[in-house]
């Protein structure tokens, strides 16, 4: 599975610019889908047909990642930029970004008079080696993603876009392993989650599912001085109960927990105090949907070294296969 993870996490794909990621995912899922379509917003939707006895189920994993967009070019050729999604200023200085055409830039900042200070985002700039505005190879409005190679250290996997390419990997692997299901399952590889869960909202309004399950990362409470949280790396997928945007459907939470226990799979219960996922958009679409989320524990979320555990990834696939292979009675 690491080869697939590496291919996806190293790909360029900030919110609104997911085409490259979609074209990497398409050949992975095409042989296993009964129907495949791309909607007007850019969501990739794969339909796995059931035997007619189950529900309509939407599985959502977002293809996009956080990034930056050029807002101004100085006469000296430096790029001022704005954020695409939740970019933290303390992760910027000295990092590198890559534009769609392959141009690479180094992030610098205005002069810091206090060594321990962190400048706000607007005090940073990108250096692409240009000597002037006229010789700059990029333009205002061009988007860039962070540049960082995939790293595997035992079962610990780090990359700049585990959020949420690892969810895409889990969806792909589930589709490959799901030989039979009673449900009409729609695997949605969604766009623009990092800027407001927009793709999932469009897809859910189109599909009108009975049940929706998002696949996304969640933070952990297992690093020094972490905010207390009952989620650790390597202890299994986290079944979301609540985050700042939604309360998961009680019956779906019960089913997830039951399937994990029946299959003797490790799992954790997640209450996330800040942040939300595509599950929120699915939950409030149309007349409302029974929605929940399988969360992959992840350290250093929204940094260039987001870190997950391979065992949690594998067990997330196993849990989702268990859920989709059997009846869902809410």
Using DSSP's 3-state secondary structure scheme, residue 112 falls into: coil
Cβ atoms 231, 263 nearer than 8 A: no
Tokens of 281: 């958009």
Strand order in the sheet with 306-309: 151-153, 156-159, 306-309
- Residues identified as active-site: 193
Cite the residue boundaries of each domain of the chain with CATH code 3.40.630.10: 2-65+160-325
The pLDDT tens digits for 28-46 are 999 999 999 999 999 999 9
Which residues make beta-bridge pairs with 73? 79
In tens, the pLDDT along 192-211 reads: 999 999 999 999 999 999 99
Identify the DSSP state of 53: S
Find tokens 């049940």 and name the residue.
211
Q: Quick one: pLDDT at residue 116?
A: 78
CATH 3.10.450.50 corresponds to the domain 2-65+160-325: no
Whether the Cβ atoms of residue 100 and residue 12 lie closer than 8 Å to each other? yes
pLDDT over 90 (residue 257): yes
Rounded distance between C-alpha atoms, residue 195 and residue 309, angstroms = 26
Whether the CB-CB separation of 166 and 5 falls below 8 Å is answered with yes
pLDDT of residue 289: 97
pLDDT tens digit string along 152-185? 999 999 999 999 999 999 999 999 999 999 999 9
Query: Mean pLDDT for the chain?
Result: 96
What does each C-alpha distance from 298 to 53, 111, 202, 257, 310 come to in angstroms?
36, 33, 27, 20, 11
**20 DSSP 8-state letter:** H
Instruction: Tell me how far CA of residue 35 lies from CA of 15, 47, 203, in angstroms.
Output: 25, 5, 15
Half-sphere exposure (Cβ direction) of 233: Cα atoms closer than 13 Å: 17
Among residues 84, 57, 59, 56, the alpha carbon closest in space to that of 70 is found at 84
Neighbours of 96 (CB within 10 A): 16
- Considering just the CA atoms, what is the radius of gyration of the chain in Å? 20
Per-residue confidence at 298, pLDDT binned at 50, 70, 90?
very high
Residues of the chain with CATH 2.40.30.40: 67-146
* Residue 115 pLDDT greater than 90, yes or no: no
Neighbour-count burial of 24, counting CB atoms closer than 10 A to its CB (0-12 exposed, 13-18 middle, 19+ buried): middle
- Type and span of the H or E element at 162: helix 162-177
Q: What are the phi and psi torsion angles at 175 (to 5°)?
A: -60, -40
Burial 168-204 (b: 16+ CB within 10 A, else e): bbbbbbbbeebeebbbbbbbbbbbbbbbebbbbbbbb
Q: How confident is the model over 215-222, as a mean pLDDT?
A: 97
Q: Does domain 67-146 have CATH number 3.90.1200.10?
A: no
Q: Dig out the tokens for 25 from the structure.
A: 């995912």
**Tell me: the pLDDT tens digits for 127-149?**
999 999 999 999 999 999 999 99
Contacts of 99 (CB under 8 A, 6+ apart): 105, 138, 142, 143, 144
Which pLDDT score is estimated for 178?
Answer: 96
Which two three-digit tokens encode residue 167? 């969810």
Q: 107 near 126, Cβ under 8 Å?
A: yes
Contact 79, 99 (CB under 8 A): no
The CA distance from 97 to 144, in Å, is 6
d(CA 36, CA 77): 43
Residue 282 near residue 204, CB atoms below 8 Å: yes
Please, which pLDDT band fits residue 117 given cuts at 50, 70 and 90? confident
If you average pLDDT over residues 272-291, what whole number do you get? Answer: 96
How many CA atoms are closer than 13 Å to the CA of 118, on its beta-carbon side? 9
């Amino acid at each position: 599975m690491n080869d697939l993870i590496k291919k996806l996490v190293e790909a360029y794909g900030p919110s609104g610019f997911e085409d490259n990621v979609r074209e990497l995912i398409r050949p992975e899922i095409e042989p296993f889908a009964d129907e495949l379509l791309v909607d007007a917003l850019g969501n990739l939707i794969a339909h796995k047909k059931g035997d007619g006895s189950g529900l309509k189920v939407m599985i959502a994993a977002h293809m996009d990642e956080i990034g930056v967009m050029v807002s101004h070019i100085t006469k000296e050729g430096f790029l001022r930029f704005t954020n695409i999604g939740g970019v933290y200023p303390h992760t910027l200085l000295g990092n590198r970004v890559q534009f769609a055409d392959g141009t690479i830039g180094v992030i610098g900042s205005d002069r810091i008079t206090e060594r321990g200070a962190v400048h706000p985002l607007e005090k940073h700039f990108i250096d692409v080696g240009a000597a002037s505005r006229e010789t700059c190879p990029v333009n205002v409005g061009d988007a860039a993603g962070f540049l960082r190679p995939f790293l595997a250290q035992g079962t610990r996997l780090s990359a700049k876009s585990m959020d949420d390419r690892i969810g895409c990997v889990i969806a792909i692997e589930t589709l490959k392993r799901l030989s039979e299901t009673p449900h009409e399952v729609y695997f949605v590889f969604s766009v623009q989650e990092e800027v407001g869960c927009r793709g999932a909202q469009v897809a859910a309004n189109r599909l009108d599912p009975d049940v929706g399950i998002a696949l996304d990362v969640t933070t952990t409470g297992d690093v020094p001085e972490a905010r207390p949280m009952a989620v650790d790396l390597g202890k299994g997928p986290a079944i979301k109960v609540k985050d700042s945007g939604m309360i998961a459907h009680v019956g779906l939470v019960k089913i997830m927990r039951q399937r994990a226990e029946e299959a003797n799979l490790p799992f954790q219960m997640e209450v996330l105090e800040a942040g939300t996922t595509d599950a929120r958009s699915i939950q409030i679409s149309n007349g409302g949907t029974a929605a929940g989320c399988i969360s992959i524990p992840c350290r250093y979320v929204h940094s260039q070294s987001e870190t997950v555990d391979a065992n949690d990834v594998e067990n997330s696939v196993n849990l989702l296969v268990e859920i989709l292979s059997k009846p869902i009675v809410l």
